[in-house]
Amino acid sequence: MAKRDDLILYITRQIAEYIDTPREVRKQRRQEGRGKSREPWAFRWFGMLPVSLRMWLDGWKRGPGGEK
Protein backbone atom coordinates (compact mmCIF):
# COMPACT_ATOMS: atom_id res chain seq x y z
CA MET A 1 0.00 0.00 0.00
CA ALA A 2 2.85 2.38 0.84
CA LYS A 3 4.55 1.70 -2.49
CA ARG A 4 1.45 2.72 -4.36
CA ASP A 5 1.21 5.95 -2.37
CA ASP A 6 4.88 6.70 -3.06
CA LEU A 7 4.34 6.11 -6.76
CA ILE A 8 1.33 8.43 -6.86
CA LEU A 9 3.29 11.10 -5.00
CA TYR A 10 6.24 10.76 -7.41
CA ILE A 11 4.03 10.99 -10.49
CA THR A 12 2.20 14.01 -9.06
CA ARG A 13 5.49 15.79 -8.38
CA GLN A 14 6.76 15.05 -11.89
CA ILE A 15 3.58 16.40 -13.47
CA ALA A 16 3.67 19.53 -11.30
CA GLU A 17 7.32 20.12 -12.23
CA TYR A 18 6.50 19.68 -15.93
CA ILE A 19 3.61 22.12 -15.74
CA ASP A 20 5.68 24.71 -13.85
CA THR A 21 8.51 24.59 -16.42
CA PRO A 22 8.15 27.21 -19.16
CA ARG A 23 7.47 25.94 -22.66
CA GLU A 24 10.71 27.36 -24.06
CA VAL A 25 12.80 25.50 -21.49
CA ARG A 26 11.01 22.22 -22.23
CA LYS A 27 11.54 22.73 -25.94
CA GLN A 28 15.24 23.48 -25.42
CA ARG A 29 15.72 20.33 -23.29
CA ARG A 30 14.04 18.25 -25.97
CA GLN A 31 16.33 19.68 -28.67
CA GLU A 32 19.42 18.96 -26.55
CA GLY A 33 18.32 15.36 -26.12
CA ARG A 34 17.92 14.87 -29.86
CA GLY A 35 21.41 16.16 -30.58
CA LYS A 36 23.12 13.30 -28.77
CA SER A 37 24.50 10.62 -31.01
CA ARG A 38 23.26 7.06 -30.61
CA GLU A 39 25.23 3.88 -30.97
CA PRO A 40 24.34 1.53 -33.84
CA TRP A 41 21.16 -0.51 -33.42
CA ALA A 42 23.03 -3.81 -33.30
CA PHE A 43 25.11 -2.61 -30.36
CA ARG A 44 22.05 -1.21 -28.56
CA TRP A 45 20.10 -4.45 -28.96
CA PHE A 46 22.79 -7.09 -28.56
CA GLY A 47 25.69 -5.39 -26.74
CA MET A 48 29.16 -6.73 -27.47
CA LEU A 49 27.95 -9.88 -29.22
CA PRO A 50 28.09 -8.46 -32.79
CA VAL A 51 31.53 -6.97 -32.15
CA SER A 52 32.95 -10.21 -30.77
CA LEU A 53 31.38 -12.23 -33.59
CA ARG A 54 32.90 -9.89 -36.17
CA MET A 55 36.34 -10.16 -34.56
CA TRP A 56 36.07 -13.95 -34.49
CA LEU A 57 35.03 -14.11 -38.16
CA ASP A 58 37.85 -11.77 -39.22
CA GLY A 59 40.37 -13.94 -37.38
CA TRP A 60 38.89 -17.11 -38.86
CA LYS A 61 39.12 -15.72 -42.43
CA ARG A 62 42.78 -14.79 -41.98
CA GLY A 63 43.76 -18.26 -40.80
CA PRO A 64 46.45 -19.32 -38.39
CA GLY A 65 49.17 -17.09 -39.92
CA GLY A 66 47.11 -13.94 -39.46
CA GLU A 67 47.41 -12.91 -43.13
CA LYS A 68 44.67 -12.88 -45.75
The total number of structural domains in the chain stands at 1
In a domain, 15, yes or no: yes
Cα–Cα distance measured from residue 12 to residue 4, given in angstroms and rounded to the nearest whole number: 12
Is the model's pLDDT at 36 over the cut of 60?
yes
Helix, coil or strand: residue 22: coil
Q: Which domain holds residue 19?
A: 2-33+40-62
Integer distance in angstroms from the first to the last C-alpha of the chain? 65
Q: Is the pLDDT of residue 4 over 60?
A: yes
The average pLDDT across 19-32 equals 91
> What's the rounded mean pLDDT across residues 50-61?
83
Q: What angle do CA 50, 53, 55 make, to 5 degrees?
A: 110
18 contact partners, CB below 8 Å, separation of at least 6: 26
Segment 35-51 shows an average pLDDT of 78
What is this structure's pTM?
Answer: 0.44
**Residue 56 within any structural domain of the chain:** yes
